[in-house]
Amino acid sequence: MTNADQTTPSDNSEAPFEQAPAAAPSYEDLQRRLIEVEALVDILKAERLTALAEAENAGKRADKRIADNAKYSVTNVAKALLQVADNLGRALLAAPPESRAANETLRNLATGVELTEKELGTVLENQGVRKLNVLNQPFDANFHNAIQEVDNPTVPSGTVVQVFQDAYMIHDRLLRPAMVVVSKGGPKREAAPSSTNGTGGVNATV
């Protein structure tokens, strides 16, 4: 047998497997993916805007706290000075005009107390402290503490007829409520305008 008659052994080794190329996404798949991406972008935009708004609001709250701390930083000192103002007022009540007229020393002393009281009032005003005029005003539990009720048919019920302690505000906050006597037994008070506080009750807290 010649070499030509001999058959060459077949090579059983298989050729490397080649994967078929992936099918291109369909138009519908692309459209669906585009919609998903756009929805995600909208969500991220909304979250970004929310975060910016929260950061801005936090900044505004911080600024307000800082401003309030500066604005009301003298509250405790002002309250203490009100006690001094009360004592100066009591000192002047102890020196009525007729007593001053008869005693030059007392008159000079009263004048000094009046000047001191005026100067203290100026200092308080410069810090945003002001006294409320509550006499003959309707009782308001937001600003007045009623320590007594008295029969008085000549004025509407719920009228402040006597003040034992003046009320003070510091800017737009109540610094100290007034201690007052309130009338009862008089005619019914007309309805207050909507811009005022109508409380209707007596706050007996002292």
In DSSP notation, 167-180 reads: EEEETTEEEEPEEE
| Amino acid in the structure at residue 56 | E
SS3 content of the chain, % helix, strand, coil (to 5): 45, 15, 40
Quick one: pLDDT at residue 202? 40
Q: With bands split at pLDDT 50, 70 and 90, how would you rate the model's confidence at 196?
A: very low
Distance CA 106, CA 27 (A): 104
Instruction: Determine the Cα–Cα distance for residues 106 and 5; give it in Å rounded to an integer.
Output: 154
Tell me the average pLDDT of the chain. 84
Q: Which residue has the higher pLDDT, 74 or 70?
A: 74
Tokens of 169: 């505000």
The 10s digit of each residue's pLDDT in 138-182 is 999 999 999 999 999 999 999 999 999 999 999 999 999 999 999
Architecture per CATH, domain 131-184, reads as Roll (2.30)
DSSP string, 92-131: HHTS-HHHHHH-HHHHHHHHHHHHHHHHHHHHHHHTTEEE
The tens digit of pLDDT for each residue in 74-95 reads 999 999 999 999 999 999 999 9
